[in-house]
Chains A and B, each alone.
Chain A
Amino acid sequence: NAGVTQTPKFQVLKTGQSMTLQCAQDMNHNSMYWYRQDPGMGLRLIYYSASEGTTDKGEVPNGYNVSRLNKREFSLRLESAAPSQTSVYFCASNEGSAGANVLTFGAGSRLTVL
């Protein structure tokens, strides 16, 4: 099925552990995004990539790193997880610039940091 695939769907970590969230899209989109969703707050941008080989910080980048491995894949890494990073993470992609095109989201990854 065409779309955005992100893994894992669920993960529990202990404080200080590291992990990588994987995201892949098969729609040949240029732009990819990582968001976090917390209760009572709108989706907040962590990092985005406007094209292969480029990445930029969003609103809440601290504690995260990203890699745009190729046009299809955009991974998010937590080097030393903290309880404040407990959240639901969404990867998304679209074609071209931010506003002009529909965003396609992955199914989400629920992360709990103990």
Chain B
Amino acid sequence: KNEVEQSPQNLTAQEGEFITINCSYSVGISALHWLQQHPGGGIVSLFMLSSGKKKHGRLIATINIQEKHSSLHITASHPRDSAVYICAVAGNQFYFGTGTSLTVIP
């Protein structure tokens, strides 16, 4: 069973494009996390949110608790945004999506 589903699995974009990654979940949660993992690298936390919307630079994360859905948007994408983006939800434990692999081409 997959408590967290992400789409798309893979995404290729041209530099400058607006990107959306989606996350749907099936469990009750206290918060949703977006994580970033560069190739061969560690995992860093981008956002933790439990309602509404958060923005850090060119990244925007939204969550709709009623629909159990979150989106991560990247505006004016850049090659350095190329990474795997992981959605994680926190209920009584953490549940992780399988990630969305993003490649931004110059």
Q: A: which residues have CB within 8 A of B?
A: 33, 40-45, 48, 58, 90, 92, 97-108
Contact = CB atoms under 8 A, between A and B. Distances in A.
Contacts of B29: 99
Contacts of A106: 42
A13 to B, nearest CB: 20
Contact of A90 (B4, B31, B43, B95): B43
B98 to A, nearest CB: 5
Contacts of B35: 103, 105
6 contacts: A42-B2, A42-B99, A43-B94, A45-B93, A99-B89, A99-B90
Contact of B44 (A40, A97, A105): A105
B30 A99 contact: yes
Contacts of A105: 35, 42-45
Interface in B76-106: 86, 88-99
Nearest to B98: A42
